[in-house]
């Protein structure tokens, strides 16, 4: 630490510049991971928020809600399976809503995800304003708060559902609930059914049609349920999230970008420290000649890199939060503190790890370089 800090202090300009590079890299990594996280939240926040461990689909649906059609009558049979604590039916449909008296000049219809649940079910998120879904108010819907903040809808507003005769009434708001990148609109299952299956035959003849069941229970045996209940497939919640249309591709793209970014920054950082070390070959030779062990020099290098990277990454995080403040609200930016810590540690490990290349180089320096040479 002694050498490391003294040198940092002495070479302020040089180390400020290297620090700056690390700050910029950290900044980029955090911004990108925030955007990625934001996007993937947007595409499946409602499912991610579920407490459920498993989801039941129609066999062959490939964990995609829109491809799955089940009868709600299966519920009691699933409930009877070992380990199952609670079962909740779920149904979804993509709709567009508009004010009941038509779209005014300069306004747009709003896309939304109409999600059918049973009142009081564990799939109902916490209401932050107004009331929860209530069977007594058949057409009452609870909307994501963006419908208020961005689109100006208020509690008590009646909205028409595009392409149908049905009207819904907004009775409450929830937050951070999106589905397929669309704001969620929670409604009574019966209401959703009435909208989805109004045309004869559109339910494929399935009675009380729904899309899927969510299962609560830690010790659920998915294979067992598939065996006992005809025509279903049971997957974990994370598989259900991955089954959301576009989710895997979208996440894959972002992950790929992040991985490349991290690998490339590893190289950049490693090269920087390596060049820095090579410049000091003569110095290290002298140190070795006067008795420094490899360990002593290695510690000096690694601790220096550690200190430099640690504070640069901290600054990078700070910078990211500052940037996040000026991002427009619609920007899907969601910086998960856990992710920040993980990526922060990854970056730190990378820079310290890359300095080990330099350390290897040092251990090969011959202390003889110090003797009989004029610089």
Indicate which of Mg ion, other proteins, none lies near residue 267 (CB less than 5 to 8 Å, by partner kind): none
Q: Least Å distance between CB 361 and other proteins?
A: 17
Indicate which of Mg ion, other proteins, none lies near residue 349 (CB less than 5 to 8 Å, by partner kind): none
Does residue 13 bind other proteins (CB under 8 A)? no
Which residues are bridge partners to 96 per DSSP? 111
- Residue 99 or 367: the one with the smaller Cβ distance to Mg ion is 367
Does residue 218 bind other proteins (CB under 8 A)? no
Dist CA 360 CA 302 (whole Å): 11
**Rounded to a whole number, what is the distance in angstroms from the first to the last CA of the chain?**
27
Which residues are bridge partners to 216 per DSSP? 86
Which residues are bridge partners to 169 per DSSP? 140, 158
Among the candidate windows 59-67, 247-255, 336-344, 367-375, which touches Mg ion by CB under 5 A? 367-375
- Residue 8 or 215: the one with the smaller Cβ distance to other proteins is 8
Burial classification of residue 199, based on how many CB atoms lie within 10 Å of its CB (0-12 exposed, 13-18 middle, 19 or more buried): exposed
Does residue 373 bind Mg ion (CB under 5 A)? no
Question: Among positive and negative, which fits the CA dihedral 342, 343, 346, 351?
Answer: negative
Q: Least Å distance between CB 312 and other proteins?
A: 20
- Residue 237 or 299: the one with the smaller Cβ distance to other proteins is 299
- Residue 328 or 372: the one with the smaller Cβ distance to Mg ion is 372
Task: Identify whether the C-beta of residue 50 lies closer than 8 Å to the C-beta of residue 339.
Answer: no
Considering only residues 11, 62, 82, 252, which one is a binding residue for other proteins as defined by CB under 8 A?
Answer: 11
Does residue 205 bind Mg ion (CB under 5 A)? no
- Residue 148 or 288: the one with the smaller Cβ distance to Mg ion is 288
User: Which 268-297 positions form the footprint of other proteins (CB under 8 A)?
Assistant: 282-283, 286-294, 296
Which residues are bridge partners to 233 per DSSP? 57
Among the candidate windows 2-10, 84-92, 140-148, 235-243, which touches other proteins by CB under 8 A? 2-10
Q: Least Å distance between CB 371 and Mg ion?
A: 7
Does residue 79 bind other proteins (CB under 8 A)? no
Does residue 307 bind other proteins (CB under 8 A)? no
What angle do helix axes 294-326 and 12-49 make, rounded to 10 degrees? 60
Among the candidate windows 3-11, 152-160, 273-281, 366-374, which touches Mg ion by CB under 5 A? 366-374
Total of chain residues touching Mg ion, rule CB under 5 A: 1
- Residue 201 or 372: the one with the smaller Cβ distance to Mg ion is 372
Considering only residues 9, 372, 373, 375, which one is a binding residue for Mg ion as defined by CB under 5 A?
Answer: 372
- Residue 12 or 227: the one with the smaller Cβ distance to other proteins is 12
Rule CB under 5 A: which residues touch Mg ion? 372
Rule CB under 8 A: which residues touch other proteins? 2-3, 6-7, 9-11, 282-283, 286-294, 296, 367-368, 370-375
């Amino acid at each position: 630490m002694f050498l490391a800090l003294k040198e940092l202090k002495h070479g302020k300009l040089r180390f400020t510049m290297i620090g700056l590079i690390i700050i910029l890299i950290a900044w980029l990594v955090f911004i990108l991971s925030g955007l990625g996280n934001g996007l993937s939240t947007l595409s499946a926040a409602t499912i991610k928020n579920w407490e459920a461990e498993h989801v039941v689909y129609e066999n062959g649906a490939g964990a995609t809600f829109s491809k799955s059609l089940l009868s709600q009558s299966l519920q009691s049979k699933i409930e009877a399976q070992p380990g199952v604590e609670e079962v909740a039916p779920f149904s979804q449909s993509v709709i567009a809503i508009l004010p009941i008296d038509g779209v005014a000049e300069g306004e747009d219809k709003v896309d939304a995800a109409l999600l059918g649940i049973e009142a009081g079910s564990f799939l109902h998120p916490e209401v932050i304003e107004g009331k929860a879904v209530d069977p007594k108010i058949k057409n009452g819907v609870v909307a994501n708060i963006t419908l208020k903040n961005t689109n100006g809808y208020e509690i008590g507003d009646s909205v028409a559902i595009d392409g149908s005769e049905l009207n819904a009434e907004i009775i409450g708001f929830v937050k951070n609930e999106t589905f397929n990148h669309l704001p969620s609109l929670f409604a009574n299952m019966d209401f959703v059914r009435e909208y989805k299956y109004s045309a004869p035959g559109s339910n494929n003849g399935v009675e009380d049609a729904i899309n899927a069941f969510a299962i609560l229970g830690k010790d659920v045996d998915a294979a067992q349920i598939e065996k006992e209940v005809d025509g279903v497939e049971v997957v974990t919640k994370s598989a259900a999230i991955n089954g959301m249309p576009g989710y895997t591709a979208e996440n894959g793209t972002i992950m790929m970008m992040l991985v490349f970014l991290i690998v490339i920054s590893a190289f950049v950082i490693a090269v920087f420290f390596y060049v820095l070390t090579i410049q000091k070959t003569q110095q290290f030779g002298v140190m070795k000649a006067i008795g420094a062990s490899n360990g002593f020099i290695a510690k000096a290098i690694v601790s220096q890199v550690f200190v430099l990277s640690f504070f640069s990454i901290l600054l990078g995080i700070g910078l990211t939060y500052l940037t996040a403040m000026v991002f427009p609200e619609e920007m899907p930016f969601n910086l998960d503190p856990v992710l920040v810590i993980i990526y922060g540690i990854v970056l730190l490990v990378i820079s310290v790890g890359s300095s080990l290349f330099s350390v290897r180089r040092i251990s090969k320096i011959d202390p003889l370089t110090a003797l009989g040479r004029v610089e």
